[in-house]
Structure 1
Amino acid sequence: MEIRTRFAPSPTGYMHIGNLRTALYEYLIAKSQGGKFILRIEDTDQGRLVEGATDIIYNTLKMTGLHHDEGPDVGGEFGPYIQSERMGMYMDYAKELVEKGEAYYCFCTKERLEALKENNGEGAAFAKYDRHCFHLTKEEVQEKLNAGEPFVIRQKMPEEGTTTFQDMVYGEITVENKELDDQILMKADGFPTYNFANVVDDHLMKITHVVRGSEYLSSTPKYNLLYQAFGWDAPVYVHLPAVMRDAHHKLSKRHGDKSFEDLVREGFLVEAIVNYIALLGWSPSDNTEIFTLQELEEKFDIAGLSKSPAIFDIKKLTWMNGEYMKAMEFEKFYALAEPKLREALGETQLDGKKIAVLLQKRLETLNDIPALVAFFKELPVYGTELYTHKKMKTDDAIALTSLKAAIPVLQELAEWSETTIHDSLIALVGEMGIKNGQLLWPVRTALSGEPTSPGGAIELADILGKEETLRRLEKGIALLSN
C-alpha cells in the first residue's frame, strides 16, 4: 500500500511553528516510506480567510523544501485540491448519511440553540443538542425543505457503548458514546464543517496517515464514526503534542511568539529552522541533532515521536543556526550574508568577502551582521578604558607607546596585505621587547573602537586599507594623549 499523507492548512494567516512542524512530519512520514505528500487548501471557513495567506503556504513549503507531489499548483488525479472547489460533493455525501439513518436535518433556530446552552445545568460548554429535529417525520422534514427553511445536517451519534481508536503516539483511546454531541456536518450556508469535509476528502484522496495536533484527539471518535457510517476504512492517526513557549503556555502569535516568517526575517537559516522543528517532539535513535532534510527523510521513524509537549527554545535554535553557518560552504554563506553586509557597509569600497570570512565562525544569526560590522563604516565613539586588558597586559601608557611605534612601521609598507602587515608588526614586537598582545590589542582597539571585533589587528588593518588604518591609529593616539 502506498503511504499518502496530506498537509491541509486553512489560509487564515501566517505559518506558525506548530503548523510547519505538522507539515514536516507529514512530509517525512511519506518520504521515509517512499510515499506521496499532498497539499490541500481547506478554505471552507470563509469568514476566517486572509488575503495572501495561500501564497504564504506555497512560499513556506517551497522555501523549506517540502515539495508536495499533488496539490492545487501541481495537480494530481484526486483534485481539485482546494475545498471550496469541491463544494458539489459534500451535500451529496451528507444526504447519503441521512438516507442511511446516520444523519438528519436540523431546522432549529440560533435562538433555540442558545437557549439550550443557557439552560444547561452543567454549563454552556457541556451543552449537547437535544435531538429535537431528529424526531421529525419524513413528511415534516420535506415540508420544511419545500418551505425553504434554513437547515443544517447533523451526524447521529450512538447513545450507548464506546468508540475506540488507535493512535500511533498516544496508543489506544476509548470514549463513552454518550459524551459525543450530534455534530453538524453541513452548515446553513451550504458549506461543510471542517470535520466532515476532512473525512470525505481524506477518503477520496486515499490518505493513509492523518497527522494533526493533539487538540483533535477529542474529535477523532466522531471522525471514526463517520468512516464507519460510510463503510470506509479509517486512516492511521498520528496526533502530535503541543509546541509550548514554556511549561504552561502554548506558542501563540498573540503573545509575541515567532512564526516561520518572523524567524527568517530575524536572520535564521531555513535549513536550521527545519532541522530544529524536526526535533520538537521527535528523537532519532542515535541522538544526532544536526540533519539535512534528506537525512531526516532517511532517519525519520514514527516510533521516535513523543507524547510529551515540546518547548520551543530560541537559544537552542540560535545555537543550531550558528552551527549551520559555521559548517556552510563559504560561497553559500557569502551569498546569504552579502545583502546585509552591503546594507551595513553602505558606500564604502571595503572587501565584503574578507569581512564575511571573519564573520562566518562568529555569527549566531544573519541579523547579527550589521552590529558586528558597523565600525568598518564608521569608527564609533569609545573610551580609553578599552585599551586596558589584563590578559594582554596593556594599559593606557603601553597602548600609547605601541600605537606611536606602529604608525611609522606601517607607513613604510609598499605592499598592503595581511602578510606584510603581520610580518612588520611582529618584527616590531621583537624590537620593542614586548608581548604580541601589548601591540596588537591597542592596534585592534584603535581600528575597531569596540571591546570585541570579528577579527584581530592584522585582519582589520588589511580590510580597512592603509590610509584608514593610519587615520584611526592617529585618532587612538589623540584619545590616549588627552
Structure 2
Amino acid sequence: MKKVRTRFAPSPTGFMHLGGLRTALYAYLYAKHNGGDFILRIEDTDQQRYVEGAVELIYSSLKESGLYYDEGPDVGGDCGPYVQSQRKEIYAKYAKKLIELGGAYYCFCSKERLESLTDENGNRKYDKHCLSLPKEEVERRLAAGEPYVIRQNIPTEGTSTYEDMIYGTITVDNSELEDNILIKSDGMPTYNFANVIDDHLMGITHVIRGTEYLSSTPKYNLMYDAFGWERPVYIHLPTIMKDATRKLSKRYGDANFDDFVKKGYLKEAIINYVALLGWAPKNNVEKMTVPEMVELFSLDGISKSPSIFDEVKLRWLNGEYIRELSDEDFYALAKPYLESSDINGLFDLEKAAKLLHGRTEVLGEIPEKINWLAKLEKYDPALFFNKKNKTDENFAREILPKIRKYIEEVPAFDNDTLYQYIGGKCAEEGIKAGAAFWIMRIAITGQAVTPGGATEMASLLGREETLKRLDFSIRMLG
C-alpha cells in the first residue's frame, strides 16, 4: 500500500485564518494517524495578493500549533522547490505537454474580445474561439511574440464523476465547466493548474481542502486523466460558519490564529477547539492534545454539515487549559497582562496571579478583572448586606473598628496567618467569622465579587493599604 502523503498549501495573503488552520490540522492528523507524511507548499502564484511576512507567519503558526511538517520550503525535502513561484519552468513544461495531449490550447484573445462575450446577465463564458486555430497560425503568432494564455480544453458534452471520502459521489455536467486559464500571460500558473502538477509531482495521495473546491475538482481530474496520472483521494471539509447565515472569512476580517493568541487564548486550546469544528471523536472527548488527536482521528467523525464557530465554547475550553497550569506557569503567561494593568507597581503581581488563576478564562481579560483594585473609591453601602451572614451597613459600622484593630495586631500578613488570627479573635468575641470576613472584604475592595476572599485580598494589598482602606470605609459609613 502506498504511503499516505497529505499537504497544506496556503497562499501568503495575511494571517493564518482559522479555516486554513483546520485544513492544515486535518491534513496533518490524517497523515500521522496513517503513518504518512505531511507537506507544506506555498501557493504564491497570485503575486498581487502577496503580503510581506505572511510566509513566515505560516511557518510560525503551524509550528506553534504543534503541526510539524515533514517537507516544506524551510525544512527541505525530495520534492522541492516547495514555493510555486520557484516552479515556473516546471509548469511551462507540463502545460506544453498538456497541449500536445489535447487537454489545453493557446488563447490569443484580446481583453476587448473577452468582454464582448458577456451576456445580458453579466455572465461571461469563454467560447473556445482559439481552440480551432490552425497549428501554423499558433506557431506564427507565438514566434511574433504575441501575448497569450493557455486554457484548459474541457469537453462540451457528458459528465465528470469522482468519489469524495466525505460527500460520496460527485457528478458535474461538463457543459457547466469553463475553459479556465492554466497559464497566465506573465507565464505564471493559476491555482487550477499548479495544484494538479504539484500534487502529482510531490506524490500527494490524499487532497484535503474545503467544500468550495467540490465543483471544480472535475476540472482537475480531466488533467490527471489527460496526463495518464492516478487521481488522488479527495476529502472535502465542511464550511466553518460565523453564524447561521455567514461564512467565517479572512476577507471580511474574521479572527485568525494570531488574533486569538493576542487576545490571550492558549495555542493548545485554539488548536483543540479548531479540531472540533467539523470533527467529533468516537469517544466524544473534547479536550485533546495533538498526539491524542492523531490517535483518535478518523474520517468517520467528520460531519457533512457546516460547523458554527462558537467563541463561548472556545472560552470554556481555554479556561480548562488555564486551570490545569501550575501557578508558576500561569504567572509566566499572565505577567505581561498584569504588567499592563493598573495594579502594576502597586501590589505583588505573583500574588495577584495566584488569586486570578482559577477565575480566568482568557488571559487578555486580566487587566479588566483587576484594574479596580488599584484604588478604592466610594461604593454603595448596600454591598454590606448579606442574607446568609445576616449583615448590613449597620453591622459593618459596628464591626469595622474591631477588624481594624485585628489588622493592626496580626503578627504576620500572609493569608493563612490573617485567616487564623481574625477567625480566632472573632470566636473569642462571639462574632460569626463568615460575617466578619464578608464585611472586611467589602470594606477593603468596594466590590461585590472579588478574585479572593477577605484575607487573600488583604494579603495582596499589604497591611498599610488594608488599614487605609478600612479607615476610608469607616469614614464613609460615618
- The answer for the alignment partner of 2:349 in structure 1 is 352
In 1: Cα distance, 2:205 partner to 2:445 partner: 60
- The answer for the alignment partner of 2:415 in structure 1 is 418
1:225 aligns with 2:218: no
**8 Å CA contact 1:399, 1:438 repeated in 2:** no
Deviations 1:273-317 (A, max 9, x none): 111010000010111111011111111111211110000001111
**8 Å CA contact 1:348, 1:377 repeated in 2:** no
| 1:182-197 mapped onto 2 (5 Å cutoff) | 182-197=179-194
- The answer for the alignment partner of 2:56 in structure 1 is 55
**8 Å CA contact 2:378, 2:446 repeated in 1:** yes
TM-score using structure 1 length = 0.96
- The answer for the alignment partner of 2:24 in structure 1 is 23
Residue 257 of structure 1 deviates from its aligned partner by 2.6
- The answer for the alignment partner of 1:160 in structure 2 is 157
Residue 357 of structure 1 deviates from its aligned partner by 1.9
Q: Residue 361 of structure 1 aligns to a residue in which SS?
A: helix
**8 Å CA contact 2:343, 2:373 repeated in 1:** no
| 1:297-316 mapped onto 2 (5 Å cutoff) | 297-316=294-313
- CA separation of 1:261/1:363 partners in 2, compared to 1, >3 Å: closer, same or farther? same
Deviations 1:260-280 (A, max 9, x none): 111111111111111101000
Match of 2:291 among 284, 289, 294: 294
In 1: Cα distance, 2:252 partner to 2:470 partner: 48
- CA separation of 1:254/1:165 partners in 2, compared to 1, >3 Å: closer, same or farther? closer
In 1: Cα distance, 2:477 partner to 2:364 partner: 33
Deviations 1:109-145 (A, max 9, x none): 111111102xx36x333x3211111111101111111
Deviations 1:32-65 (A, max 9, x none): 1111111111111111111121121112112111
In 1: Cα distance, 2:396 partner to 2:272 partner: 46
- The answer for the alignment partner of 2:208 in structure 1 is 211
Aligned partner letter, 1:67: Y
In 1: Cα distance, 2:108 partner to 2:170 partner: 34
Q: Residue 104 of structure 1 aligns to a residue in which SS?
A: strand
Question: Which runs of 5 or more structure 2 residues have no equivalent in the other structure?
Answer: none
Aligned partner letter, 2:17: H
Match of 1:124 among 122, 125, 142: 122
- CA separation of 1:31/1:380 partners in 2, compared to 1, >3 Å: closer, same or farther? farther
Residue 323 of structure 1 deviates from its aligned partner by 1.0
In 1: Cα distance, 2:107 partner to 2:251 partner: 36
Residue 158 of structure 1 deviates from its aligned partner by 1.6
- The answer for the alignment partner of 2:75 in structure 1 is 74
**8 Å CA contact 1:209, 1:236 repeated in 2:** yes
In 1: Cα distance, 2:294 partner to 2:261 partner: 23
Residue 361 of structure 1 deviates from its aligned partner by 1.1
**8 Å CA contact 1:375, 1:449 repeated in 2:** no
**8 Å CA contact 1:165, 1:221 repeated in 2:** yes
- The answer for the alignment partner of 2:336 in structure 1 is 339
**8 Å CA contact 2:343, 2:371 repeated in 1:** no
1:441 aligns with 2:438: yes
- CA separation of 1:159/1:254 partners in 2, compared to 1, >3 Å: closer, same or farther? closer
**8 Å CA contact 2:207, 2:232 repeated in 1:** yes
**8 Å CA contact 1:158, 1:177 repeated in 2:** yes
TM-score using structure 2 length = 0.96
Residue 414 of structure 1 deviates from its aligned partner by 2.2
Range with bigger deviation, 366-375 or 289-298:
366-375
Residue 347 of structure 1 deviates from its aligned partner by 4.9
Aligned partner letter, 1:58: Y
RMSD between aligned alpha carbons? Answer: 1.5
In 2: Cα distance, 1:255 partner to 1:431 partner: 66
In 1: Cα distance, 2:343 partner to 2:420 partner: 31
**8 Å CA contact 1:14, 1:56 repeated in 2:** yes
- The answer for the alignment partner of 1:463 in structure 2 is 460
Range with bigger deviation, 346-355 or 395-404:
346-355
Q: Residue 116 of structure 1 aligns to a residue in which SS?
A: coil
**8 Å CA contact 1:402, 1:438 repeated in 2:** no
Question: Which runs of 5 or more structure 1 residues have no equivalent in the other structure?
Answer: none
Aligned partner letter, 2:449: T
1:40 aligns with 2:41: yes
Aligned partner letter, 2:256: S
Aligned partner letter, 1:407: R
- The answer for the alignment partner of 1:271 in structure 2 is 268
Q: Residue 344 of structure 1 aligns to a residue in which SS?
A: coil
Aligned partner letter, 1:409: Y
| 1:329-408 mapped onto 2 (5 Å cutoff) | 329-344=326-341, 347-348=344-345, 350-408=347-405
Residue 417 of structure 1 deviates from its aligned partner by 2.0
**8 Å CA contact 2:106, 2:131 repeated in 1:** yes
Match of 2:232 among 217, 230, 235: 235
- The answer for the alignment partner of 1:245 in structure 2 is 242
Residue 330 of structure 1 deviates from its aligned partner by 2.7
In 2: Cα distance, 1:392 partner to 1:222 partner: 74
1:105 aligns with 2:106: yes
In 2: Cα distance, 1:214 partner to 1:254 partner: 17
In 2: Cα distance, 1:46 partner to 1:420 partner: 66
| 1:2-13 mapped onto 2 (5 Å cutoff) | 2-13=3-14
Residue 381 of structure 1 deviates from its aligned partner by 4.1
In 2: Cα distance, 1:258 partner to 1:110 partner: 37
- CA separation of 1:256/1:476 partners in 2, compared to 1, >3 Å: closer, same or farther? farther
